[in-house]
Structure formats: C-alpha cells, structure tokens
Structure 1
Amino acid sequence: MEYRRLQMSKGGSFLISLPKEWVKSNGLQGGAVLKLTVSEGELRISADATGELEKGAVSYIRQAEGLERQIRSNYLFGADTIIVELGKRLTPAVREEIKGAIQKLIGLEIVEEDRDTVTIQCLLQPTSMPVLNTIRRAYSLAASMHRDAEEALLSQDSELASSVVRRDDEVDRLYFLIVRQLRLAIRNPTVAEKLGIRPSECLDMRMAAKYVETIADYAGAVASSVPKLGSGTDSELIDALVSLSKQAYGIHEKAASALFKKDLALADSVLEENKSLSQSLLSVNELLMTKQPRIAALLDSIAIYFYQIGAHGIDLAELVSGTPA
C-alpha cells in the first residue's frame, strides 16, 4: 500500500501524482486518458480508458467426473468460454451430460464440437439484465408456483401439481444467473454499476435470490406431495393447510414488495408476523395429532413446507431492514 499527498493547484483543482512504475507498466504517456470510478468512498483509476470490456476467463475441464458440477461451477465463476477436453474421444454419454448441464444455465451454448473437444460459450452479456429485475422475475415465478401448489392441494389436481414441479427448473436457472452476475459485480465495479447495484449490496442480493429460490423449492415439494394424498383427504385438514399457505403467501408477497421498493416500514410489519406464523403451524400440528399416522406424516410435511415458505419471506424482510431507503 502506498500513500500520496493531495495537492491543490493555483486554479483550485486538486492533484495527485501517480506511481512511475504503474504508469510505465501500463505504457502510458502524458495526455493519456484514464478512467475514474467512484465507489463506496473509493476512487479507482484504470489505464483502460474504454473500461467497458467484460471478459470472463476461458476455463478448461479435463476430468470427466462431476462434469455437470464443473460446468456449473465455471459458469457461476464468470467464465465466458468453457472447453471440455478430456484427452480422448468424447462418448455419446458425455456429450449428453454436457447438453443436459448447459440447458440448466441461461446463456450457455455449444459453439464448437469435434471428436475430442466441446467448446461452450456464454452468449449472454452479464449486464444485459439488471440483478434486481432478475430477482423480481424469479420471485414472480416462485410466487406463481406457491399459488398453484396451494390450488393443486385444494382441488387434488395432479396435472397442475406437475406443472409446478417443472417450473422449479426455471427458477433455478435464474438463480444461477444471479449468482454469476453478482460474482462478476464484486470483481468489477463497472459491471456492478451497469447492473444497478453497489458492491456492498452483492451479499444481500445473493441471500435474497437464495430465499426466493428456496421458496420455489418448497412450493415444488408441496406439489410433489399432492399425488400421494389420494382422494378423500379430511377437508378440515386441507382447509387448515390452505389457511397456513395463504398466511405464508401474504408474508413473502409483502416482503418482496418491501425489498423492491426499499420500504422499511412494510418490512418491519412483516417481521412482526413471525410469532403468528409459528402459532398457525402449531395449530395445524395439534389437528394432525388426531389423525391416522400415515396421512398425518404426509400432511405434516406439507405444513412444514408452507411454514418454511413464510419463514423465508420473513428472512427477505430482514434484508430490507438493513438497507437504507
């Protein structure tokens, strides 16, 4: 670390000298244009005057084990190009695994393919979708999954339940895109600026995205349970579960609204519902104790899923409470 003294010219401008070694190593001369970025009380000076290049790394995968995980990991890290090169002919099974992996990640396409190598490229610019918009889209999907999972439970509609489960994959795709964007934003203030966030907000945005993705997971779990119930399930129990579901939905709906509007008062009102949500779960459990063990265990799982959905809504509200309006 180096310290420089700020100076003032006769005309009132402020001046600071640059380290000679840095100037020479970047091939700069008098009259060169530098880029200045102000962020979180810091002033960053870049020798790249255009400063707009958003190049990710080129990553190589040379191990067949855990191929899908490796592709996802490189995507999340921000790689623009991923080259699968295993040192031998790629079998049809490996090629299918690669195709299956990239279908779960937004923007990835196979751009080149031969006997021994597959080249994957991310064709989506990281700044083409502001992070908050992506989270908003993911939440919209998760909320619709919750509504439809509740309706499928109430009407015993297995077809609707299946559609909820399928939609979970799209929420996962959006979540992975958000993680990729946030990691790039942490490393590059220019990217953060274009995404409409400050580097200090990246952690909260990551947590918000995870809470939304988990809400979708639990909605999918409820939907997956619907075909197992069969017909003739006690209407009193179903009504109690639907009531818990509606309470949970109201919580995360208000929490998401508070997050997007940075409404601290609305977020605080959500936090006050924590005790009421727990009491609602307890009431359902007391009702389940009077029922047959097999059906009670399955309905208890559904009750916990709905409770967790509401609890993650409260987690969303806690993020807003720490965000200045």
Structure 2
Amino acid sequence: MSVRKIMLLGRSSLVISLPKPWLQLHKLKKGDAVSISMRRDGAMVVYPSVKKGEDRYVQIEVDKNEPKELIARKIIALYLNGYNNIELKSTGVFPPHQQQLIREIARKLYLRIMEASPKHFYFQSYLDESKVSIDLSVRRMHSVAYSMCKDAVTALKENDLELARTIYALDDDVDNFYHFIRKILRSAMLNFSLAETLGVTPLSCLDYKRLVDCIEHTADCASNIVKRVILLNETGYRIPTHTMELLVNFGSTATEIYNEAVNTFFEEDLNKANSIINKCNSLWNISTKISESILKEQEATLVCTICSLREYIDRIIDYSVDIAETAINKSLSYV
C-alpha cells in the first residue's frame, strides 16, 4: 500500500497524486476522467471511467466438421466475456446444420447478425450494459421460472399435455435471461466503473451469480417434470392416486418455498431465510412416503417416472436452500 500526502491546490482545494503504475495499467493520461465513490466502511475508491467506443472484437475459425455443441459453447463463452463484435469464419463452408445452430444461438443471446455468407458470420451486440437493472432482470427471470414450476405441478395433476408442452418451451426464455444476466455480472466484475453505475460490488455479483444459477436449475427441473408427464402419457400408464397426491403436495410445497427463498434474497431477511432452510429440512418425510409408495409398484415404467419426479422436486428444494443461504450471506456481507 502506498501512502500519499494531501497537498493544497489554490486557496482551498486539497488534492493527492495518482500512482504512476496505476495510470499506466489503465492507460490514463492528462484530461481523462475517473470515477470516485465512497464505500460503506468510509474508504474512497477511484475507478477508471469507461471509454466509449471501445467495442471488443474477436474472430474465431470454425471447422466444417466441428460438433454443434462445441460451436454453441464457443459463441456463448465469447458473449459472456464481453465481446460485442464476434466473427466466425469457416475452414470451408458452414453446412446447413451449423448455419441453423449459429442463427439460433445469436437469437437467444440477442446478437444481431450483420453479415452472413456460406463462409462467414458477423454479429454485434447493441446492449447498453450501464442501463440494465440487475434486480429487475433477475425478478423477471424468476417470474418465468416460478410460473413454470406452478404450471408443471398442475400439468402433472391434471395430465394436461398442452400445458406441459407450453412449459417445456418456456425453458428457452429462462436460458435467455440466464446468459444475459451472467454477461452483465461478468462485465461488472471486470469493469469497476460499470459496477459502480449498476450499484453492485464484486461480492454482490457472486451472490447474484449463485441466485441466477439456482433459478436456471429450478426451471430445468420444471421442464424435466413436464417432459416426464409427456413421456408417461405416451405409454398409457397412470400414477396411482395416492402417489399422485403425494407428488402434487410435494411439488406445490417446493414451488412456494422456492418463491419465498427468492423473495428473501431481495428482502435480506435473515430470520426468514433461516426459517426457509428449516422448513426445507422438514420435508424429508414427504419424500420418504413417496419412496415407500414406489416399493408397492411393480410396473418398471411407473417406478422410473415416480423416482424421477421425486428427484426433480427434491432438487428444487435443494436449490431453495442454496438461495436462502445466499440470502443470509448477502445480508451479513456488511455488518
């Protein structure tokens, strides 16, 4: 830690000089602006201001035989790492299945395709990260996931295939929010000035990251539940009434606990978060009763389906516990 003396400038202004290594690191010179903020502990922090017009560009080469999954993961990774201009060039030509995948990923990540040819794709992101509300974005993501969970239980109870297929399609919307929010959080952790504008710290970014991970995983569970509903309907088998009642009760309880956990994260209510964790730990008896009902079932298809449904609901409860624990950590980050 370097120590700087406060100097008098003019009649009343007090100034300190900035360390030369810090100026060189951020490529700052005379006339550039910096951002200053006051932390809760009373310390003053100086950030290099964001220089407009510094869009990040990257070009990668894609083999014509490269697996679709790898191409998708590369594009998502570049997006999450803050590249606003992404160019893909093929070693030959993009076959139709690669072109379809690239366009689908671009749509999900809100990337605009500026140029496209059989040998190359060029996208741009016009997102103004400084105007994003992280809280609002997370709440909207949660709203979709929560409705998916509620409707998944309804589809299970009523064997509603149309509702089940609608819920299954909504998982893409949650994934879109997930990638979008992760990009903002990663950018904020790398850019102190952006973090200051968004009102977050590196520590709170980690809390938000854990929250959106749990929300995304919860939506996946809802999607898997309705997938099981659809598959079971095709076999013609039906879950016994008693077991169905246990599953519906278990799913409804897990859904409401999940909703309470997310709300507690924003409220920063330590006691309520602790109550949610205790409530989750008390639900093992319902899971046990479902397991006991499986032992009475002889049809393998029903056994596998009931086990899967119970596991997905168990996971929703586990993610609710993780959210509640994150809420406690967040509420005590500054004491």
TM-aligned CA deviation for residue 14 of structure 1: 4.2
CA offsets per residue over residues 126-168 of structure 1, 9 Å max, x none?
Answer: 2333122111111111111111110011001111111111100
- Maintained 8 Å contact 1:52/1:190: no
TM-score relative to the length of structure 2: 0.86
CA gap 1:291/1:103 in 2 versus in 1, 3 angstroms: same
Which of 286, 293, 303 is equivalent to 1:296?
303
CA gap 1:12/1:120 in 2 versus in 1, 3 angstroms: same
Residue 60 of structure 2: aligned partner: 61
Letter in 1 for 2:46: R
The runs of 5 or more residues in structure 1 that have no matched partner are none
CA gap 1:94/1:233 in 2 versus in 1, 3 angstroms: closer
Which of 288, 307, 327 is equivalent to 1:320?
327
d(CA) in 2 for partners of 1:247, 1:197: 32
For 1:164-313, what aligned pairs fall within 5 Å after superposition? 164-229=167-232, 230=236, 232-294=238-300, 295-313=302-320
Which of 110, 113, 129 is equivalent to 1:110?
113
Letter in 2 for 1:63: V
> What secondary structure does 1:273 align onto?
helix
CA gap 1:55/1:263 in 2 versus in 1, 3 angstroms: farther
> What secondary structure does 1:83 align onto?
strand
Residue 99 of structure 1: aligned partner: 103
Letter in 2 for 1:43: V
TM-aligned CA deviation for residue 323 of structure 1: 1.6
d(CA) in 2 for partners of 1:33, 1:26: 6
> What secondary structure does 1:225 align onto?
helix
Q: State percent identity of aligned pairs.
A: 27
- Maintained 8 Å contact 1:130/1:196: no
CA offsets per residue over residues 262-308 of structure 1, 9 Å max, x none?
Answer: 22222111011132122221121112211224112211110111111
The range that moved more, 212-221 or 263-272, is: 263-272
d(CA) in 2 for partners of 1:202, 1:315: 16
Instruction: Determine whether 1:158 maps to 2:161.
Output: yes
CA offsets per residue over residues 7-62 of structure 1, 9 Å max, x none?
Answer: 2549675432234677796442xxx363233365452253x5xx363744211121
Instruction: Determine whether 1:144 maps to 2:150.
Output: no
> What secondary structure does 2:17 align onto?
coil
> What secondary structure does 1:268 align onto?
helix
CA gap 1:300/1:121 in 2 versus in 1, 3 angstroms: same
> What secondary structure does 1:85 align onto?
strand
d(CA) in 2 for partners of 1:75, 1:185: 14
Residue 79 of structure 1: aligned partner: 83
CA gap 1:313/1:39 in 2 versus in 1, 3 angstroms: farther
CA gap 1:263/1:84 in 2 versus in 1, 3 angstroms: same
d(CA) in 2 for partners of 1:292, 1:20: 76
CA gap 1:302/1:4 in 2 versus in 1, 3 angstroms: same
Residue 7 of structure 1: aligned partner: 6
Residue 17 of structure 1: aligned partner: 17
- Maintained 8 Å contact 1:58/1:80: yes
Letter in 2 for 1:17: S
Tell me how many residue pairs correspond in the alignment. Answer: 317
Instruction: Determine whether 1:44 maps to 2:46.
Output: yes
- Maintained 8 Å contact 1:247/1:310: no
CA gap 1:116/1:278 in 2 versus in 1, 3 angstroms: same
> What secondary structure does 2:212 align onto?
helix
- Maintained 8 Å contact 1:4/1:16: no
CA gap 1:16/1:307 in 2 versus in 1, 3 angstroms: same
TM-aligned CA deviation for residue 194 of structure 1: 2.9
d(CA) in 2 for partners of 1:275, 1:115: 55
The range that moved more, 159-168 or 18-27, is: 18-27
TM-aligned CA deviation for residue 232 of structure 1: 3.9
CA gap 1:147/1:23 in 2 versus in 1, 3 angstroms: closer
The runs of 5 or more residues in structure 2 that have no matched partner are none
RMSD: 2.4
CA gap 1:69/1:312 in 2 versus in 1, 3 angstroms: same
